[in-house]
Amino acid sequence: MQTELFALPPRDAALGAIECWARETGRAPLLGVDEAGRGPLAGPVVAAAVALPAGPLPSALAALDDSKKLTPAARERLVPVIADFADAVGVGRADADEIDAINILEATRAAMRRAVAIACRRLGAPPAALLVDGHLPLPGYEGEQWPLVKGDGRSHNIAAASVIAKVVRDRMMLTYDRRHPGYDFARHKGYGTRAHRAALARLGPCPIHRRTFRWTAPE
Tens of pLDDT, residue by residue over 145-165, are: 999 999 999 999 999 999 999
* 8 Å CB contact between 82 and 165: no
Q: Which residue has the higher pLDDT, 183 or 27?
A: 183
pLDDT band at 210 (very low <50, low <70, confident <90, very high): very high
- Is residue 10 classed as helix, strand or coil in its secondary structure? coil
Amino acid at 6: F
Q: Is the peptide bond before 29 cis (omega within 30 degrees of 0)?
A: yes
Q: What domains does the chain contain, in order, with CATH numbers? A: 17-169 (3.30.420.10)
Alpha helices in the chain (DSSP H): 17-24, 72-85, 96-102, 104-123, 156-179, 185-188, 194-203
Confidence of residue 119 (pLDDT cuts 50, 70, 90): very high
From CA 55, how far away is CA 43, in angstroms rounded? 36
CA atoms within 13 A on the CB side of 105: 6
Predicted pLDDT at 5: 42
pTM, whole model, 2 decimals?
Answer: 0.94
**CA–CA dist 89, 32 (Å, integer):** 10
Confidence of residue 4 (pLDDT cuts 50, 70, 90): very low
Q: How much is the mean pLDDT over the chain?
A: 94
CA distance 114 to 92: 5
Name the band, by pLDDT with cuts 50, 70 and 90, for residue 14.
Answer: confident
The answer on pLDDT for 196 being more than 60 is yes
Please tell me the predicted confidence (pLDDT) of residue 12: 76
